[in-house]
Chains A and B, each alone.
Chain A
Amino acid sequence: MKKMIKIKETIEFDDKSYQLIGILLIILIIMTILIPGRFATINNLIAMCYQFPEIGLFSIGIAITMIIGGADLSIVSIANLSAVISGIIIIQKMPSNANSELAIKYILISLLTTLLIGIISGFINGYIIGYMKVFPILVTLGTQNLYFGIAVILTGGIGVYGTVPELLYFIGSGKLFNIIPVPLAYFTIFFLITYILIHKTPYGIKAQLYGSNKIASYYSGIDNKKVVLKTYILSSIIGSFTGFLILARTSSAKGDYGITLVLQALLVSVLGGVSPLGGKGNLINVLLAVLSLQLIDTGFNFMRISPYVRASTYGGMLIISIAIEYLIKKYKEKIEKRKLNKKKY
């Protein structure tokens, strides 16, 4: 019971969260009615838990960079780069007759390189953006091409395929205690770490302040450069570990996997109420946005709607949600004006 109360205290809902929960429920109800007996089943829910962690992690990575007023467009390329390098270590370099102990060693080495790639690529992004003060979208656009290119050079343009050790397969598609899908657990760990870092630590508060007003944060004694550097390193680490998950789930790695996911993750973060101008954002809302879009995706799959429609629903939902928000804001302003008028007379 005590634990429950603590969780309630740590997870903060705002107006936007209730809106998103409402949207989530509406989608769930509509899909359950449209696809009777097949949508709201435990099997389907578990299947979804294997699918959303990738886009979820990307969205969180982009969301934190948007909180400080930038956007990490290179995150998917970082993921592919780390997936390719881990793939080369595990699939190509590991002797094929390796026992499980050796396999664990190789996987640990590849996890270490994943971390290293995250730190290095994030450092490059963060250093150029924070210390040299270049417009973030341009920098990450350049590094996106750079990391993508390195991955292509490493694989010679083909990709990495082959048999993977059992443990890696388990990370990608196994179940913890026969119930919890491992990707879900993987996602939860990274989500919680990021959530705590952004919302519960001094660093997170500094980052939010920096995002809403650079000049004010500078004059209140915050080291702006360090904040930017840390945020980009964090988002790159999230990206590189997503790459490891992709490798585990698909047993392959390619330089150009999921390039369109960048735009989707951007849309998801905005849908989750992260302001693209910086300063505002709650990661819980991003999670809710990811979940509601996953529900739509799965529902459309069941209804055999063309995947192209799905691509356009992201954009459509975004426009509609922003328009509705605007109308609500206008409506509230109107009511307040009326109240003021009443007081006057």
Chain B
Amino acid sequence: MKNINNKTINRLIKSNEFVIAIVIILVILIFGAINPAFYSTRNIFELFRTITVNLIFGCGVMMIIVNGGVDLSFMAIAIVTSYLTVQSCILLSMQGPLIIIFIIASIMGLIIGLFNSYLVSKYDIPVFIATLSVGSVIRGLVLAFIGNEYIPSTHMPISTIELSKKYIFLMRDIQGEFGLHIGIIISIGIIIITHIILNYTVIGRGVYALGGDKISAIRIGYNIKKIRYFIFGYAGLLSGIAGIIYVSQNRMADPISLQGQELSVIAAVVMGGTRITGGKGSVLSVILGVLLTQIILSNLVLIGVPSFWHRSTFGALIIAAILFQSIRENLKKEYKY
């Protein structure tokens, strides 16, 4: 009995997630020591608000990375679907309900995601090439033919604006009222659903099998095409939902926003412990990775780092995290090539 306990503890200490969690705690302690305002409820609620969208993106991205490929289209999908949805709501002079808006956006995202997987499975295009080109095509088409000007909050459907003002509960301090935004509940729900799909369904186990070893997955009897369609469709659907939340949080739909930031979410997910070559990853890694990057990025100002240092700090952070990971992985490996 004692032995088993020791083993599980050993495993826990050696796991990537544990190390990242310790790093997060250290970062929190250091930041808090430099500026106690970091611990204020307002700041923590603000952090939850900013990670909402990235958590949803992270779930989709993690699934595709586990399956063995890097998706570079999810932000384009998010912004295109949300912009189109808002535009069509304006055309139909529709103000809500919110659920319809979410459904429209997620169906659009689903369709684009399915198109991605069609390209990948039918024409054997590597995932990151296919998604990269699909992303640039849809973004370009929307900018060229639908419109390239942002929609201000006065024109947007009222229900999306109302979403940005919905709080789970409100608090009060010297600066005024603030609250915990309701978006975090949506992301927690999506995280739970993703966890259930990955761990308790046949298709979810197939995702890991396919990412670990494609040929063995085929021989076991998994339908690879079906799994791929499912993953990409699911990621597209999540992108649609995240897009609407993003648009409502910013209170404007800007078709050129979110450009070239795909890589920061991917980096966060990988930092959390998802293996970039596929086969390994969990929702926990998404949560930890997104938390770590967001805590550092959004609180650099708070500890007095000038804003033009942010990019290089972020870059150094990514490099440090992946170096650390790879050194740990290499210690286990025996081959040298």
Whether a CB of chain A sits under 8 angstroms from the CB of B130 is yes
Size of the A side of the interface (Cβ < 8 Å), in residues, is 53
Complex: how many Å from CA A219 to CA B337? 8
Interface string of A239-272 (1 = CB under 8 A from B): 0000000000000000000011001001100100
Whether a CB of chain B sits under 8 angstroms from the CB of A135 is yes
Given contacts A148-B311, A149-B314, contact A142 B322 (CB under 8 A): yes
Q: Which A residues touch B122, using CB under 8 A?
A: 326
Given contacts A153-B312, A315-B135, contact A141 B144 (CB under 8 A): no
Which of A142, A143, A147: most chain B CB closer than 10 A?
Answer: A142
Which of A150, A215, A311: most chain B CB closer than 10 A?
Answer: A311
Whether a CB of chain A sits under 8 angstroms from the CB of B276 is yes
B9 to chain A: closest CB distance in Å? 29
Whether a CB of chain B sits under 8 angstroms from the CB of A40 is no
Whether a CB of chain A sits under 8 angstroms from the CB of B327 is yes
Binds B, one of A15-23, A100-108, A126-134, A194-202: A126-134
Whether a CB of chain A sits under 8 angstroms from the CB of B251 is no
Q: Which A residues touch B330, using CB under 8 A?
A: 132-133
Q: Which B residues touch A315, using CB under 8 A?
A: 132-137, 140
CB neighbors of A among B136-161 (8 A): 136-141, 143-144, 148
Whether a CB of chain B sits under 8 angstroms from the CB of A144 is yes
Q: Which B residues touch A47, using CB under 8 A?
A: none
Given contacts A276-B128, A306-B143, contact A146 B312 (CB under 8 A): yes
Q: Which B residues touch A132, using CB under 8 A?
A: 323, 326-327, 330
The residue from B144, B270, B314, B316 contacting A138, defined by CB atoms under 8 A apart: B270
Q: Which B residues touch A306, using CB under 8 A?
A: 143-144
Interface string of B242-282 (1 = CB under 8 A from A): 00000000000000000110010011001000001100000
Whether a CB of chain B sits under 8 angstroms from the CB of A308 is yes
- Do the beta carbons of A141 and B267 come within 8 Å of each other? yes
The residue from B129, B136, B309, B327 contacting A270, defined by CB atoms under 8 A apart: B129
The residue from A145, A217, A308 contacting B143, defined by CB atoms under 8 A apart: A308
Chain B, Cβ-Cβ closest to A256: B311
Whether a CB of chain B sits under 8 angstroms from the CB of A214 is yes
Chain B, Cβ-Cβ closest to A277: B126
Size of the B side of the interface (Cβ < 8 Å), in residues, is 52
Interface string of B106-141 (1 = CB under 8 A from A): 000000000000010011111011101111111111
Whether a CB of chain A sits under 8 angstroms from the CB of B2 is no
Given contacts A149-B311, A267-B133, A311-B136, contact A137 B70 (CB under 8 A): yes
Whether a CB of chain B sits under 8 angstroms from the CB of A152 is yes
Whether a CB of chain A sits under 8 angstroms from the CB of B319 is yes
Interface string of A301-345 (1 = CB under 8 A from B): 000011011111111101100110010000000000000000000
Complex: how many Å from CA A305 to CA B277? 40
Which of A145, A146, A267, A314: most chain B CB closer than 10 A?
Answer: A145
- Do the beta carbons of B126 and A276 come within 8 Å of each other? yes
CB neighbors of A among B289-337 (8 A): 307-319, 322-323, 325-327, 330, 336-337
Q: Which A residues touch B314, using CB under 8 A?
A: 145, 149
Given contacts A266-B132, A267-B133, contact A139 B315 (CB under 8 A): no
- Do the beta carbons of A319 and B119 come within 8 Å of each other? yes
- Do the beta carbons of A318 and B313 come within 8 Å of each other? no
Given contacts A133-B326, A146-B315, A315-B140, contact A224 B124 (CB under 8 A): no
B266 to chain A: closest CB distance in Å? 8
Q: Which B residues touch A319, using CB under 8 A?
A: 119, 125, 130, 133-134, 137
Given contacts A145-B315, A218-B336, contact A318 B308 (CB under 8 A): no
A143 to chain B: closest CB distance in Å? 6
The residue from B143, B316, B337 contacting A218, defined by CB atoms under 8 A apart: B337
- Do the beta carbons of A145 and B318 come within 8 Å of each other? yes
The residue from A139, A144, A215, A322 contacting B337, defined by CB atoms under 8 A apart: A215
- Do the beta carbons of B322 and A311 come within 8 Å of each other? no
B149 to chain A: closest CB distance in Å? 12
Chain B, Cβ-Cβ closest to A224: B337
The residue from B125, B128, B260, B267 contacting A142, defined by CB atoms under 8 A apart: B267
Whether a CB of chain B sits under 8 angstroms from the CB of A162 is no
The residue from B130, B139, B276 contacting A311, defined by CB atoms under 8 A apart: B139
Complex: how many Å from CA A318 to CA B137? 10
Q: Which A residues touch B267, using CB under 8 A?
A: 138, 141-142
Complex: how many Å from CA A270 to CA B72? 15
Q: Which B residues touch A144, using CB under 8 A?
A: 263, 315
Chain B, Cβ-Cβ closest to A310: B140
The residue from A145, A146, A312 contacting B139, defined by CB atoms under 8 A apart: A312
Interface string of A271-297 (1 = CB under 8 A from B): 000001100000000000000000000
- Do the beta carbons of A308 and B315 come within 8 Å of each other? no
A55 to chain B: closest CB distance in Å? 14
Complex: how many Å from CA A260 to CA B70? 18
- Do the beta carbons of A138 and B315 come within 8 Å of each other? no
Which of A73, A138, A270, A311: most chain B CB closer than 10 A?
Answer: A138
- Do the beta carbons of A157 and B308 come within 8 Å of each other? yes
A51 to chain B: closest CB distance in Å? 19
The residue from B144, B307, B310 contacting A308, defined by CB atoms under 8 A apart: B144
Q: Taking beta carbons and an 8 Å cutoff, which residues of A are in contact with B?
A: 73, 128, 132-135, 137-139, 141-150, 152-153, 156-157, 214-215, 217-219, 224, 259-260, 263, 266-267, 270, 276-277, 305-306, 308-316, 318-319, 322-323, 326
Q: Taking beta carbons and an 8 Å cutoff, which residues of B are in contact with A?
A: 70, 119, 122-126, 128-130, 132-141, 143-144, 148, 259-260, 263, 266-267, 270, 276-277, 307-319, 322-323, 325-327, 330, 336-337
Q: A134-B325, A142-B267, A312-B136 are in contact. List 14 more A-B contacts (CB 8 A).
A: A135-B277, A141-B318, A144-B263, A144-B315, A146-B316, A146-B319, A157-B308, A260-B260, A263-B136, A306-B144, A312-B144, A315-B135, A315-B140, A319-B137
Q: List 13 A-B contacts (CB under 8 A).
A: A73-B263, A132-B330, A138-B270, A146-B316, A149-B314, A259-B260, A306-B144, A308-B140, A311-B139, A312-B138, A313-B140, A314-B136, A315-B140
Which 3 pairs across A and B sit closest by C-beta, in order of nearness?
A149-B312, A312-B140, A145-B315
